[in-house]
Amino acid sequence: MFKNLTRRQFLKTSAVAAAGSVAAPYLGCGNVTVAEPMTRTLGRTGFEVTSFGLGGQASLQWTPEDVDPAAIIVKAVNQGVNYLDTSNVYGPSQENFGKAFRAINLVPGQANYDEIKRRSLYLASKTMVRHAKGSHPDVPDRSQGPAGSKAVDDLRRTLSQIFGDGQGGYPEGAYVDLFQIHNLNTMAEVEAIFLGLDDTDPEAERIGALAALRDFRDGTNRTGLNPKEEKLIRHIGITGHFSLPVMMECLQRDDEDNLIDAMLIAINANDRRYLNHQYNTMPVAKAKNVGMIAMKVFADGAMYTKEPRWSRTPEDVVRVVGTPDLPSRPLIEYALATPGVGTAIIGIGHIDNDDQRCQLTQNLSAAQIRPESLGEGDREEIENLGAKAREGVTNWFQVEHQPLGAPRETVAAVENRDGTPVVQLSWQTAYAAQEPIDYYEIQRDDQPVGRVEHQPQTTKAPFTFEDTVEGGRQHAYQIVTVDKTGQTAASELLEVSTA
């Protein structure tokens, strides 16, 4: 596992290997067997998850004819992997977990059920349904279940396909550790999932997914959708590839219930070439101690053999372990060294008895890296490696690069305090570009009069600044975003009168 190499020495070795011919898998030399996988605390869930998580797509969803998907799951669990990912929109993925769970005694009610082993695993699934009741034409609800399925139907479908009969039934004692509202893209979807959370009315025509999932987490029936008061999930999460404003909005709106315990987010070595979560959403999640799960470490395979688009067939499944130009190990380390990341889910296309050719064994080995252990120079070198894949244009699932953003929703007001005018400024966070935001400079009449240090904005409460001025005058204010490299972006002029 390159224990005797520094990070920079390893990257230089990568470059040398790329220049010559090497046997696959590239840089997979030596013993890569992991006796006891590294774990990290998944935020406020408190669960110790392995830094490598088994993704629920690749051959678990788009299964090639010569692959047994259940065998991949069994091998992962036997190698100590305890974070397991699947979804209601991943075709047969949940059913494949059901086959594997029966093979390794993880189904409640079976005579040989291993409850201790089940509790050592962290099973996550997802729904793309935004409503628990009702619908809205601007917010599509997508499910592979029966027509009209809602979020709770997808939850029960997960339990039935993994633990039950696959027809809706599931045994007592079945549960999912994390159930996520998947692939959130628009503010209309945010409104939908939060609907009824603060003022839950079981008679309402529409109820959002979060209110109902809270009932199935807590064993309550505030929505009227959990009459048996079942506890079927331990934690609730959200996921997003595309829109960092949407993900940040969800985290900020969850300011009292602490309902969102985990977030699945796209992060890889080409991340900064796009409007990235790395310097925007992820610091907010870290500040709120929301568990972070990294996805798209290989840009959904676009770093290697797959075209940059959603997968559609078994031919899209990546079955190689790196390439001479782009070893897989540093890409995995890049994601896992990003501040706050608990685990990275990686889909497996191919397992092999030869550890040197086994994606699972190789990727698990690469994931044995301490949190936040790469310096800025190390990350930059890995980004340069990542740029070799399609000239860095791989993250088709993210918003294209945008310049540093100005402060948003800026407001200026004047308050008279004992005869002295005080100008009060407020604003919502700007969005970072290729570098983190450092601070906000306050300018009055083109002159700097103060600064406010940037902090991750964990609620909708705005940034604020007060300026005491003389009366009887007109002033023009600007709030200027300044990033770590000194790049700036100014708000519109805010004109105030102290007359």
Per-block mean pLDDT, blocks of 10 residues, the chain (499 long): 43 42 38 88 98 98 97 98 98 98 97 97 98 95 95 98 97 98 97 96 97 98 98 98 95 89 97 95 97 97 94 95 92 97 98 95 97 95 95 94 97 93 97 97 97 97 96 94 98 94
> Is 214 in contact with 259 (CB distance < 8 Å)?
yes
Judgement on whether residues 134 and 212 belong to the same structural domain of the protein: yes
Domain count, the chain: 2
Structural domain contains residue 402: no
Integer angstrom CA distances of residue 457 from 365, 428, 498: 35, 8, 30
197, 55, 60: which is closest to 130 by C-alpha? 197
291 token code pair: 């568990």
387 token code pair: 């740029």
The Cα 82–Cα 344 span in angstroms is 12
Query: β-pairing, 260-266 with 207-208?
Result: unpaired
User: What CATH number is attached to the domain comprising 224?
Assistant: 3.20.20.100
pTM assigned to the model:
0.93
The pLDDT assigned to 31 comes to 62
Structural domain contains residue 397: no
> Is 425 in contact with 410 (CB distance < 8 Å)?
yes
Q: Which helix (H) or strand (E) holds 147?
A: none
> Is 426 in contact with 255 (CB distance < 8 Å)?
no
Judgement on whether residues 300 and 325 belong to the same structural domain of the protein: yes
Judgement on whether residues 74 and 195 belong to the same structural domain of the protein: yes
67, 10, 3: which is closest to 34 by C-alpha? 3
Site of tokens 């700097």: 448
The pLDDT assigned to 471 comes to 86
Judgement on whether residues 377 and 414 belong to the same structural domain of the protein: no
Structural domain contains residue 403: no
Q: Report the phi/psi class of residue 94: left, alpha or beta, with left for phi > 0 and alpha for psi in -120 to 50.
A: alpha
> Is 234 in contact with 177 (CB distance < 8 Å)?
yes
Judgement on whether residues 144 and 254 belong to the same structural domain of the protein: yes
Judgement on whether residues 157 and 206 belong to the same structural domain of the protein: yes
Structural domain contains residue 36: yes
Judgement on whether residues 344 and 482 belong to the same structural domain of the protein: no
Choose one of 392, 416, 448: the last residue of a domain: 392
Judgement on whether residues 95 and 139 belong to the same structural domain of the protein: yes
Judgement on whether residues 166 and 117 belong to the same structural domain of the protein: yes
* Type of residue numbered 404: L
**What is the domain range of residue 487?**
408-497
User: What CATH number is attached to the domain comprising 455?
Assistant: 2.60.40.10
Structural domain contains residue 1: no
Query: β-pairing, 291-295 with 233-240?
Result: unpaired
461, 493, 474: which is closest to 414 by C-alpha? 474
The conformation of residue 366, written as its DSSP 8-state character, comes to H
The conformation of residue 445, written as its DSSP 8-state character, comes to T
Judgement on whether residues 315 and 425 belong to the same structural domain of the protein: no
* Type of residue numbered 228: K
68 token code pair: 């047994």
Structural domain contains residue 470: yes
The pLDDT assigned to 424 comes to 98
The pLDDT assigned to 255 comes to 84
Structural domain contains residue 104: yes
> Is 361 in contact with 37 (CB distance < 8 Å)?
no
Choose one of 360, 392, 424: the last residue of a domain: 392
Judgement on whether residues 164 and 236 belong to the same structural domain of the protein: yes
Judgement on whether residues 259 and 314 belong to the same structural domain of the protein: yes
Structural domain contains residue 490: yes
The Cα 187–Cα 152 span in angstroms is 22
173, 156, 193, 176: which is closest to 47 by C-alpha? 176
Choose one of 346, 367, 392: the last residue of a domain: 392
